[in-house]
Amino acid sequence: MNKFSFMIHPLDVHDFARKFPIAEKIPDRLLENLFKFSPPVKTSHISGIKSKYAEAEGYFVACPLTTRQMLKLPEKYVLQKIISAGRMAEKLGAQILGLGAMTSVVGDAGITVAKNLHIPVTTGNSYTVFTALEGTRKAAEIMGIDLANAEILIVGATGAIGAICARIMAKEARYITLAARNKQRLENLARQILVESGLAVGITTNIQQALCKADIVITVTSSAETVIEPGYLKSGAVVCDVARPRDVSKRVAEKRDDVLVIEGGMVEVPGDVCFNFNFGYPPKLALACMAETMVLALEGKFESYTLGRNLTVEQVEEIGRLAKKHGFKLAGFRSFERPVDVSQIEKIRERALAKKIAL
């Protein structure tokens, strides 16, 4: 049976208590400092992944650093901790390693990690992009938004996922704005899109101003803090939040019942899968970045797949085909960690229309 491993880490100190309840009794700052001296942890054994063509099993291994630590501590130190966790995956017999959350962002997005291991590595970003766009298209359709003529905003556009989302969407839509902090990188991406698709896209460093005009928002920054607040959004908008930690504030769920926020990249895994670990999702569901590693294991495609920050359209399309072949599929819609069905989305649409008429 083919074997894989997927690397996780605590998004904040409270995640650590899911595995070790005694951690709840330790002050947050002290607990976070203790992380720095902790070795990697085999978190759980993953069993039951089965398609029509193959079976696979794997392990979650944890790099014991929070999101904040990965952003603040020296890059060399953080990379060494990630490599150390990768070596644990090797010892467990994994034939490929997936990098989750910030472990796929730090440094050069997996390249250095792959060079220091004897097994291939993938960040999972190609399948994350595929499923995020698939979910966004379906959500827009239910909300009555014509994607081709909608105002589309990509927040965090100069990152690896944001850039490829923008390049793919440029083949389907007319009005796209790219938002990020670095204007020069935005201009470079806009030129690339113009050459590839013939579409002239807008750019901005003022995310708040762009959000108030957008019908569709795909947001994927690497910020440790939320960047989208309730007052920023246009009534009737669809927001696909691909970022981990999330970009959209939970206050949006409390105060804006006229916008639809969906989580990007949630998929149903084929077979009677058991993760043996509660990472907050219903049974059989996984993030697309995790699923990419599983797909490659089932396919026996043991090669470093998605690495670095230059994702290709071809890889996004290929991993989508392979995932479909092995029975992975989009797991409906989820918003702020809760399922959202079509009838709930239609009510959001009705409330947005009512507000528009009242203006």
Per-residue pLDDT at 114:
96
Q: What is the pLDDT of residue 19?
A: 63
Closest CA to 61 of 8, 115, 135: 8
Count of alpha carbons within 13 Å of 104, Cβ hemisphere only?
30
Residue 23 has pLDDT above 80, yes or no: no
25-41: per-residue pLDDT in tens? 777 777 777 777 889 98
* pLDDT surpasses 70 at 18: no
Report the interhelical angle of 313-325 vs 288-299 (nearest 10°).
70
Report whether 155 contacts 178 (CB < 8 A).
no
DSSP alpha helix (H) spans, the chain = 13-19, 28-35, 67-72, 75-91, 111-115, 125-142, 160-169, 183-197, 207-211, 251-255, 288-299, 313-325, 342-358
**pLDDT tens per residue across span 42-62:** 989 999 999 999 999 999 999
The Cα–Cα gap between 329 and 350 comes to 28
> What is the model's pLDDT at position 17?
66
Per-residue pLDDT tens over the stretch 244-279: 778 999 999 999 999 999 987 689 999 999 999 887
Residue with tokens 């926020």: 261
Label residue 66 exposed, middle or buried (CB < 10 Å: 0-12, 13-18, 19+).
Answer: buried
- Terminal C-alpha separation, the chain: 61
For 338-344, the CB contacts below 8 A with 24+ separation are: 339/282, 340/260, 340/262, 342/142
349 within 8 A of 139, measured Cβ to Cβ: no
pLDDT at 148: 92
Compute the distance between CA of residue 161 and CA of residue 287 in angstroms, rounded to an integer.
15
d(CA 332, CA 280) in angstroms, rounded, equals 16
Residue 202: DSSP 8-state: E
Please tell me the pTM assigned to this model. 0.87
Q: Average pLDDT of 58-69? A: 92
The answer to whether the CB of 216 falls within 8 A of the CB of 237 is: yes
Residue 236 has pLDDT above 80, yes or no: yes
Q: Give 325's contacts (C-beta < 8 A, 6+ positions apart).
A: 51, 53, 299
**For residue 118, which amino acid is it?**
H
Per-residue pLDDT, averaged over 95-100, amounts to 96
pLDDT of 111 higher than 90: yes
pLDDT of res. 192: 96
Phi, psi angle pair for 116, to nearest 5°: -100, 10
Contact criterion met (CB below 8 Å) for 156 and 220: yes
What confidence tens digit (pLDDT) does each residue in 169-182 have?
A: 999 999 999 999 99
Looking at residue 74, its pLDDT comes to: 94
CA angle 156, 125, 132 (to 5 degrees): 70
